[in-house]
Structure 1
Amino acid sequence: MNLFELLGQREFMIAVLAAISMAAVVFTFGSGYIVKTEMKDRIKRVALEREKMRAAEMARLRGTETTVEGRGIRRTGETKSYMKNVVEKLDLKKAFQDDATVDKLAMAGFRGQGHLTTYLFMRLSTPIAIFLLIAFYLFLISPGERPLYLNLVYAIGAGLLGSFLPAVMLKNSTTKRQFSIRRAWPDCLDLMLLCVEAGMSVEHAFRRVGREIGQQSAELAEELALTTAELAFLEDRSRAYENLGRRTGLDGVKSVMTALIQADRYGTSVGQALRVMAEEGREQRMMDAEKKAASLPPKLTVPLILFFLPVLFIVIISPAMIKVFGPGGVAGGG
């Protein structure tokens, strides 16, 4: 039996899909118990972002147009040359990029031109690769008795579905990142309030809280470090606050940043604003917990009917059925 015959067997494909599903389940449940050591890479990226902002600010003060690339700074997320050439020659920015693409990538933690180029290249290459893979399998490995046009329709449909894969993966990364930031944000506000009331400035409070909150949420620590760098180098402090809210995409973070902008603009107490927002954050977290607790009974109804009640009925009725229909019983000893 050659390789093509083996790949064409239905039992082999079922076994392969079952193995992939089992590996996905193990990875999904096991990844939560693996401690991710990404802090060094995140700190390196933050340092590069800080150096970029410093260079841009120095160039602005000197009145020159010196770019960061001209200073020899190599940022993370640089793409391969062939990706950049494909994006430029086919003008994929006009085809796939809109006003919200850069913000969506930032909310997922992907910043810089390199990640944007990679995302645009994947938007083009993913459906083509899936189309060729499915077409190779349907036409050469397992043609079956289907007409030629039907195999072609299946391959085109798979390619169209594959065009949504980069957007789905980006949405998944954004959701995971926002969940980590949302979970640690109330504690971050409490720590920031303590730092401000202890006499620290906002910049030092962001820096201190970023170091402390890193054990709970590395994503939030990275965003706070970038905000600290922006507060140090940007001319307008409100831009740094707005950028933090835009990068996270969370309403709770945006409301706190709006309060800080108003406090900085009108000269009101930053500590009082943080105190009010921290109380609202704790109340919101309690409301979310109560909402999840209230939604448990409806969610348990279907598993209770499908799994618990049949087993309960079997346990209750089985002894009586054994006595009635078993040897020596009323029906069995007839």
Structure 2
Amino acid sequence: MDIGSFILDPAHLGAPLAAVSVFLAVIVVSWPYLVRDNLAARMRQVQGERERIRRRERARLAADESPVSLRTKPKKLFQAIVDRFNLTKQAEDGGLALKLKMAGYRGYAPVVAFLAVRLISPFVLFAVSASYILLVLNPSIPVIATSAIAGAIGALGYFAPALVLQNKITKRQKDIRRGWPDALDLLLISVESGMGIESAFRKVAEEIGAQSGALAEELSLTTAELSYLQDRRQAFENLGERTGVEGVRAVVTSLIQAEKYGTPVAQSLRVMAQENRDIRMSEAEKKAAALPPKLTVPMILFFLPVLFAVIITPAVIQISAVP
């Protein structure tokens, strides 16, 4: 019997094909048990690394001998004033607490102190100004005029704490805005070197402290929140709210989107770092362009009179010396 015809005979092909089908079916069914799931192992490793970083940060914060408490108790005098004049609702206002956070004051105690100082400062300024007018300037001034002047000065005392707070916020934001591009570069280098976002924030906070203490403080607080909070999005949003700087908010939005959609964090940081450097350069160019008009008035008042005096004085001396 011909071997070729024997192999091609349909009656003899059924058994080998059935054996091959059974073998392949067994392989398909047992494949998940034979091949290791690298993706699941990597995900478990990342989750374990995240938990390890959280435990390390918690241990580091707990081991600090002089931890900074964000829930310091307000002074009894300020608390009594707030309770006496029913300012509790204002103390619970989130807008005022946010402004104080932007200025670097956190917790309930700064809110109570601000409300108490804003309440008593008009009376203090009124008493001080009235005493100064009556006792030092001119005791013969009528009482009505003295009261009006002292009342006007006292009224300014109600707005003085808000102006001081706004000035503090402006200075702090300026400090953060100056150091933010350099912090982004350091953050980008840390992420590209293989660090997690928590470790990168902690490393940048340690390195940027010499340039911007306010930025180092905010990044350290963000590192602690990333270790404690279960929702990382909330930690990033808190960073943007506390600083109030547009560049920081833009980077925070990019980090949140990267966490949500799984896009590369390094690529987003690279783009944002370049944008922040361009913004800082444009601000420096604007200041340089505005310098000549600002120097015009000082030159007219201080430089030109001296120049005219140097030029005209010899001629005046010669003319006066002629008999």
State the Cα deviation string for residues 139-194 of structure 1 (Å, max 9, x = none): 45555332221111111111101111111211122122112111111100000000
Q: Does residue 287 of the first structure (1) align with residue 301 of the second (2)?
A: no
Match of 1:81 among 32, 52, 76: 76
Q: Does residue 303 of the first structure (1) align with residue 298 of the second (2)?
A: yes
Partner of 1:163, secondary structure, is helix
CA distance 1:140–1:317, change in 2 (3 Å): closer
CA distance in structure 2 between the partners assigned to 1:95 and 1:229 by the alignment = 29
State the Cα deviation string for residues 206-259 of structure 1 (Å, max 9, x = none): 000001111111111111011011111112111111100110111111111011
CA distance in structure 2 between the partners assigned to 1:231 and 1:96 by the alignment = 27
Q: Does residue 132 of the first structure (1) align with residue 121 of the second (2)?
A: no
Percentage of identical aligned residues:
51
CA distance 1:246–1:74, change in 2 (3 Å): closer
Match of 2:251 among 256, 280, 283: 256
Partner of 1:79, secondary structure, is coil
Match of 2:179 in 1: 184
What does 1:214-229 align with in structure 2 at a 5 Å threshold? 214-229=209-224
CA distance 1:235–1:76, change in 2 (3 Å): closer
Q: Give the stretch that moved more between structures: 178-187 or 88-97.
A: 88-97
What does 1:18-57 align with in structure 2 at a 5 Å threshold? none
What is the CA-CA distance between 1:90 and the residue it aligns to?
Answer: 1.2
State the Cα deviation string for residues 272-311 of structure 1 (Å, max 9, x = none): 0000000001111111111111001100110111111111
CA distance in structure 2 between the partners assigned to 1:213 and 1:129 by the alignment = 41
What is the CA-CA distance between 1:313 and the residue it aligns to?
Answer: 1.4
CA RMSD of aligned residues (A): 2.1
What amino acid does structure 2 have at the position aligned with 1:213? I
Match of 2:203 in 1: 208
Q: Give the stretch that moved more between structures: 281-290 or 129-138.
A: 129-138
Q: TM-score, normalised by structure 1?
A: 0.73
CA distance in structure 1 between the partners assigned to 2:307 and 2:136 by the alignment = 49
Match of 2:268 in 1: 273
What amino acid does structure 2 have at the position aligned with 1:182? R
What is the CA-CA distance between 1:97 and the residue it aligns to?
Answer: 6.8
- Larger Rg: 1 or 2? 2
Partner of 1:153, secondary structure, is helix
Match of 2:98 among 103, 107, 111: 103
CA distance in structure 2 between the partners assigned to 1:95 and 1:105 by the alignment = 13
8 Å contact 1:78–1:113 — kept in the other structure?
yes
State the Cα deviation string for residues 17-75 of structure 1 (Å, max 9, x = none): xxxxxxxxxxxxxxxxxxxxxxxxxxxxxxxxx87xx99xxxxxxxxxxxxxxxxx965
CA distance in structure 2 between the partners assigned to 1:173 and 1:295 by the alignment = 25
Match of 1:246 in 2: 241
8 Å contact 1:93–1:120 — kept in the other structure?
no
Q: Does residue 237 of the first structure (1) align with residue 253 of the second (2)?
A: no
CA distance in structure 1 between the partners assigned to 2:112 and 2:316 by the alignment = 69
Q: Give the stretch that moved more between structures: 118-127 or 129-138.
A: 129-138
Structure 1 residues without counterparts, runs of 5 or longer: 1-49, 56-72, 327-331
CA distance 1:134–1:95, change in 2 (3 Å): farther
Q: Does residue 121 of the first structure (1) align with residue 116 of the second (2)?
A: yes
Residues matched between the structures, number: 260
Structure 2 residues without counterparts, runs of 5 or longer: 1-56, 63-67
Match of 2:313 among 311, 318, 324: 318
8 Å contact 2:70–2:106 — kept in the other structure?
no
CA distance 1:155–1:276, change in 2 (3 Å): same
CA distance 1:237–1:95, change in 2 (3 Å): closer
CA distance 1:102–1:96, change in 2 (3 Å): closer
